[in-house]
């Protein structure tokens, strides 16, 4: 080797060291192994047939040294030394329907609602939100922000939203202490931009309006931000494969890919919005891998995409929830985020607001979505009225909180409490850690929060009470899971 190259090689070797360490978070000296010894552990429970609703146990759990568990012992194993994705947040959608219902409530119930969702101490601490660009089914009627045939968007105005939705969002933001991560989604372009010349019933974006439609997103984001609502991100289109009787628009995977790389991505960048997080797909898990791979296998499109959004409605086919499809996307594209962007229970009936299955659907989805690598979880409407609306096409659904506008009272379904077992105790910036159960009737996930506290969620959808050991790296604490219950253990 020529002597004159040695100083250069030594310089490169020295400068490469810190960079390599930064790119590998587990590099360098290993962290001290986690131990539960001496830690205070509180248990919170919601259970069917009881008064327990996010209720704290009267006494903390006591961990003791434990040897090898026997196969006959039921255990939930947690190992905080193995870390995975970082949580963005948990929350719900702030829709026209939610806003209109909110302003029908008496002032004390409005404040009760805001505290119930957005206070991390007196409520369940929502930190993530979604809203819609233009009208959706959960609006009292259809509307757009421009006059017909205004391709230049000279008439663009969000005046419609200023009556209910914008003031509602701003109150939610304030209740969350200003820390509400907001993303936006369109249900449809204006009718003149579509093949069917209709806001409803599917149709496609006409090719000659792709640039005008990309400009529309930029106009919306800038106008909302001008009115004091920071926008963190956006999805390309809500439910891109569904011809609905409400606002809808169809894209094939290739059409979405090409719209992102040739129009929406460059237009966001040109408009100074290149840092906004762009979410592709925003539909069900059934086509999740095919849609993700079509977009992400094209570097010219993938460079604009922060993540892949998905819903839980693939069950309309009589399929179960397809969590494996999330795992395949996460395995194939580990640097692309997964985000649950919408889910609700459909076919509202007022006399079913206390059905226990409502919450269990949420618990089952959330445990498995997080274990598959999802970084954030967004419920659909945060609030609906006693009809499951308003909804201008009769698509009435459940929300975690129902407002009976006839009496002015708020009704809390058990879905509210099930979501709260995650959102209240697993905070933005938390890292998921390894957690498993050795019986399939217990489901579990766990996170370590930025303050070091560990949150372990245990879901029991079965009919029997189950004693088990909460086992953390050689320390175990005995506890009990009630039938049809969810528990969160907080280890300080």
Torsion of CA 85, 376, 327, 81, to 10 degrees: 20
Query: How many C-beta atoms lie closer than 10 Å to residue 315's C-beta?
Result: 15
Helices (H), 24-159: 96-102, 107-118
User: CATH for 41-85+432-491, among 1.20.210.10, 2.60.40.1180, 3.30.450.20, 2.40.37.20?
Assistant: 2.60.40.1180
Q: ∠ at Cα 57 (439, 109), nearest 5°?
A: 110
Nearest to 80 by CA among 422, 385, 430, 482: 430
Q: What is the CATH number of domain 88-425?
A: 3.20.20.80
What pLDDT, on a 0 to 100 scale, did the predictor assign at position 33?
85
Q: Which of 239, 256, 314, 326 is catalytic?
A: 239
Positions of the chain with pLDDT lower than 50, given as ranges: 1-29
> Any idea where the domains of the chain sit in the sequence?
41-85+432-491, 88-425
Q: CB–CB of 221/184 below 8 Å?
A: yes
CA-to-CA distance for 35 and 233, rounded, in angstroms? 38
What pLDDT, on a 0 to 100 scale, did the predictor assign at position 31?
62
Residue 261 is classified by DSSP as I
CA-to-CA distance for 153 and 144, rounded, in angstroms? 11
Number of residues that make up the chain: 492
Q: Which of 100, 247, 326, 342 is catalytic?
A: 342
Asked about 71 being catalytic, the answer comes back as no
- List 481's β-bridge partners, or say none: 466
What pLDDT, on a 0 to 100 scale, did the predictor assign at position 3?
41
What pLDDT, on a 0 to 100 scale, did the predictor assign at position 32?
75
Q: How far is CA 282 from CA 86, 238, 301, in A?
A: 20, 6, 16
Segments of 205-322 assigned E as strands? 233-235, 277-284, 305-311
What pLDDT, on a 0 to 100 scale, did the predictor assign at position 291?
99
CA-to-CA distance for 325 and 96, rounded, in angstroms? 32
What pLDDT, on a 0 to 100 scale, did the predictor assign at position 30?
52
CA-to-CA distance for 86 and 138, rounded, in angstroms? 31
Asked about 342 being catalytic, the answer comes back as yes
What pLDDT, on a 0 to 100 scale, did the predictor assign at position 9?
36
């Amino acid at each position: 080797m020529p002597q004159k190259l040695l100083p250069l090689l030594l310089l490169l070797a020295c400068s490469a060291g810190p960079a390599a360490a930064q790119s590998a978070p587990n590099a360098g000296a290993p962290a001290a192994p986690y131990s539960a010894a001496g830690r205070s552990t509180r248990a919170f429970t919601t259970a069917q047939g009881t008064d327990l609703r996010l209720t704290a146990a009267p006494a903390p759990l006591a961990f003791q040294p434990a040897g090898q568990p026997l196969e006959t012992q039921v255990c939930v194993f947690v190992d905080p030394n193995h870390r995975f994705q970082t949580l963005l947040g948990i929350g719900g959608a702030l829709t026209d329907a939610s806003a209109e219902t909110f302003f029908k409530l008496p002032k004390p119930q409005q404040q009760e609602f805001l505290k119930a969702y957005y206070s991390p101490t007196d409520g369940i601490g929502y930190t993530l939100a979604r809203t819609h660009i233009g009208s959706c089914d959960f609006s009292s009627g259809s509307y757009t922000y421009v006059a017909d045939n205004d391709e230049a968007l000279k008439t663009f105005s969000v005046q419609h939203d200023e009556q209910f939705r914008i003031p509602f969002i701003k109150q939610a933001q304030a209740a969350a202490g200003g820390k509400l991560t907001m993303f936006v989604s369109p249900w449809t372009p204006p009718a003149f931009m579509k093949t069917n010349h209709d806001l409803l019933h599917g149709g496609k974006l006409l090719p000659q309006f792709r640039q005008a439609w990309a400009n529309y997103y930029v106009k919306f984001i800038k106008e909302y931000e001008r009115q004091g609502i920071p926008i963190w991100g956006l999805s390309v289109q809500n439910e891109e494969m569904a011809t609905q009787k409400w606002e809808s628009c169809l894209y094939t995977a290739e059409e979405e890919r090409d719209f992102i790389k040739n129009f929406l991505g460059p237009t966001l960048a040109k408009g100074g919005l290149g840092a906004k997080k762009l979410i592709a797909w925003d539909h069900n898990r059934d086509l999740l891998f095919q849609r993700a791979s079509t977009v992400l296998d094209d570097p010219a499109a993938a460079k604009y995409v922060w993540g892949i959004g998905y819903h839980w409605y693939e069950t309309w086919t009589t399929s179960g929830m397809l969590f494996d499809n999330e795992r395949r996307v996460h395995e194939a594209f580990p640097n692309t985020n997964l985000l649950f962007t919408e889910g609700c229970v459909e076919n509202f009936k007022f006399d079913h607001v206390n059905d226990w299955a409502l919450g269990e659907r949420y618990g089952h989805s959330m445990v498995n979505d997080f274990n598959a690598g999802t970084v954030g979880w967004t419920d659909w409407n945060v609030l609906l009225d006693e009809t499951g609306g308003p909804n201008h096409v009769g698509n009435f659904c459940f929300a975690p909180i129902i407002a009976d506008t006839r009496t002015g009272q708020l009704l809390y379904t058990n879905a509210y409490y099930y979501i709260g077992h995650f959102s209240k105790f697993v905070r933005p910036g938390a890292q998921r850690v390894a957690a498993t159960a050795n019986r399939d009737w217990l489901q579990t996930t766990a996170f370590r929060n930025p303050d070091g506290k560990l949150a372990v969620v245990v879901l029991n959808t079965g009919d029997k009470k189950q004693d088990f050991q909460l086992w953390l790296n050689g320390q175990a604490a005995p506890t009990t899971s009630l039938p049809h219950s969810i528990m969160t253990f907080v280890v300080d």
